Amino acid sequence: MEPVLSVQNITKHYPGFALENVSFSLGPKRIMGLIGKNGAGKSTTLKSILNMVSPENGSVTMFRKDFYQHEKECKQHIGIVFGGIDFYPLKKLSTISAVTRRFYENWDQAQYQRYVKLFALDERKKYKELSNGMKVKYLLALALSHHAELLILDEPTSGLDPVSRDELLHVFCQIVNSENCSILFSTHITSDLDRCADDITYIQNGRVLQSAEKGKFLRSFEHLKTPEDSGPLTLEEIMLRTERSKWDDITTL
């Protein structure tokens, strides 16, 4: 099947940091976790994909179209949830939603109301009155109300309590199973991905270290196991040992 999203050789340089030839692809109705420690390049990758920052090289194909040439059209079919988006904090949710719906040709008010009910959102509340978890749920409700075929989420579970994180992961799985939708979300909380991810892309210092189906991804790091390991390594153990080996290389120079 054709991928929903294909990223090829994205490069972006900043003073002291660079994305170098970042490439991966996401298939239909799949969840991909984009992992890496803080500062590895996860957010820069997502912003480069969406042209929020201008990459110096590379291409993004979305729904079989060149995203940079068909950006407006492609954005009708994606939902975006980024942390730190405060909209108008003093406005009620109903007012924000009424403005947002004008931007989408396929806005489905009945679908929006279903997610408002599912997430127990009170549209009479002001945005600033929502907890972090409810803010993420509200952004998801907006993102899903125009039948998005791709969700791009930047650290959606960061800062949430365990119960709220568990609820959101359950929602992600439900979305992929019930909607014609794929999900790409960045996180440094690898335990989230043990539960819901189909594919993993690991970015280290601006480069893709590995991108594969989760089982294949885990097997590709078997060389990090020690005689004391009785079972397969977890994503957290893979990240810890990979980052540690990088620092061991530096300290032996």
pLDDT of residue 247 exceeding 80, the answer is no
Q: How confident is the model at residue 253 (pLDDT cuts 50, 70, 90)?
A: very low
Q: Over range 136-162, report the average pLDDT.
A: 88
Q: What share of the chain is helix, strand, coil (3-state, %, to 5)?
A: 40, 25, 35
Contacts of 110 (CB under 8 A, 6+ apart): none
Helices 132-144 and 93-100 cross at an angle (nearest 10°) of 30
For residue 153, the model assigns a pLDDT of 93
| d(C-alpha 232, C-alpha 33), whole Å | 19
Q: How confident is the model at residue 133 (pLDDT cuts 50, 70, 90)?
A: confident
**pTM for the whole structure:** 0.90
For residue 245, the model assigns a pLDDT of 67
For residue 169, the model assigns a pLDDT of 87
For residue 104, the model assigns a pLDDT of 94
For residue 85, the model assigns a pLDDT of 65
For residue 251, the model assigns a pLDDT of 40
E strand or H helix that includes residue 87: none
Task: Give the Cβ contact number of residue 133 at 10 Å.
Answer: 19
Q: How confident is the model at residue 135 (pLDDT cuts 50, 70, 90)?
A: confident
